Amino acid sequence: MGRLSIENVSKIYGDPASEGAVVALRDVSLDIPDHAFCAILGHSGCGKTTLLNMVAGFERPTFGEVSIGGEPVSRPGWRNTMIFQEYALFPWMNVAENIEFGLEMKKLPQQEREEARRTYVDLVGLQGFETKYPRQLSGGMRQRVAIARALAVCPEVLLMDEPFAALDAQTRGAMQDELVRIWRREPKTVMLVTHSIDEAIKLADKVVVLSRRPGRVKDVVEIGLERPRDEDHADYIALRRRLRELIYDDFDERS
């Protein structure tokens, strides 16, 4: 149902015929099975966000097709929902209202909405914070609200664009553990964009490495490690080295 397949997708910004056209992605194909956790690694500007945006339905591929569970993606919606780096919580809604927003859009009756909200507030451990506004929460707590809000609509595919980049190191670590815990309790097809090799190894089943622009799939590394993963384990260290090489391979520029 939540199987995500990306077939020969290319994305060109601007008029393909013109000089200024930017080829963001070229001929990307990926197949992510239902309930798999996939991380996308790549340099800045290689097209990670572009790829995610097409899966989320915000943009359309110039060539090729994205489909979820066999159905082509044509517009944004709850089936392929996205969690943003900036959390994108509605500042004028409290935690409960934020989480219920998607359910309201799905026209769920009041009672079901409240039940679902309670479930997901519990899941992310925000009991007691339901009536707080986003700006009254810490970065990590906001991220949890965003996750709960996205999960509450029961998406088939969950997309995340550098969800933890804005958090400090300790909080980030804690949130990564949290995400794994939640995902194991409620498995979804997940596509997570990150800049951090450690994050990718810690979280994903499958790490897709994109090349510099125009982005192509450089390699797909399967992470066979047991969860929770030990950073000091030899396999972990080996995987890290391998990914680092893949990434820095063509990293010549300094900034």
Partner 1 sequence: MTAPDPARHWLLRALFRLPNLAALVGLILLWEFVASVWLPRSDPYLATLMPPPTQVFTTAVELIRSGELGFHLLASLKREAVAFLFALAAVPLGLLMGWFRPIHAQLDPIVEVLRPIPPLAWIPLSILWFGIGDAQNQFIIFLGMFFPILINTIDGVAKVEPVLVRAARSLGAGEWKVIKRVVLKAALPQIVTGVRVGLGVGWMALVAAELVGASSGLGFMINDARSVLRTDIIVVGMITIGFVGLVIDMLLRFATRKLLPWSVSNAK
Ligand X SMILES: Nc1ncnc2c1ncn2[C@@H]1O[C@H](COP(=O)(O)OP(=O)(O)OP(=O)(O)O)[C@@H](O)[C@H]1O
* Count, residues near partner 1 per rule CB under 8 A: 27
Query: Which element (helix H / strand E) includes 93?
Result: none
For the beta sheet containing 71-72, the strands, ordered from the edge strand earlier in sequence to the opposite edge, are 22-32, 4-13, 63-68, 71-72
What is the 8-class DSSP label of residue 135? G
DSSP line for 38-56: EEEE--TTSSHHHHHHHHH
CB-CB contact of 198 with 223 (8 Å): no
Rounded distance between C-alpha atoms, residue 27 and residue 204, angstroms: 23
Contact 156, 189 (CB under 8 A): yes
Of 150, 190, 203, 247, which lies in the binding site for partner 1, with binding defined by CB under 8 A? Answer: 150
We find the least distance from the C-beta atom of residue 170 to its own copies, in angstroms, to be 6
Residues 6+ apart with CB under 8 A from 151: 120, 123, 158, 182, 186, 188
Q: Taking CB within 5 to 8 Å according to partner kind, which of Mg ion, partner 1, its own copies, none is near residue 149?
A: partner 1
Retrieve residue 179's tokens: 């995400």
Under the binding rule (CB under 8 A), the answer on residue 50 touching partner 1 is no
Q: Which of 197, 203, 221, 223 binds its own copies (CB under 8 A)?
A: 197
For residue 49, state whether it binds Mg ion (rule: CB under 5 A): yes
Give yes or no for a contact between 7 and 29, defined as CB atoms under 8 angstroms apart.
Answer: yes
Q: Output the smallest distance, CB 195 to its own copies, in A.
A: 4
**Of 150 and 182, which CB lies nearer to partner 1 in the complex structure?**
150
Instruction: Candidates 95-103, 111-119, 166-174, 215-223: pick the segment binding its own copies (CB under 8 A).
Output: 166-174
Residue 89 in contact with residue 99, Cβ under 8 Å?
no
Residue with tokens 């707080």: 132
Among 101, 118, 178, 198, the residue binding partner 1 under the rule CB under 8 A is 101
Contact of residue 45 among partner 1, ligand X, its own copies, none (CB under 5-8 Å per partner type): ligand X
- Residue with Cβ nearer partner 1 (31 or 86): 86
The binder of ligand X chosen from 12, 37, 39, 48 (CB under 6 A): 48
The footprint of ligand X (CB under 6 A) covers 13, 22, 24, 42, 44-50, 213
The footprint of its own copies (CB under 8 A) covers 43-44, 125, 138-141, 165, 168-171, 174, 178, 195-197, 232, 237, 241, 247-248, 251, 254-255
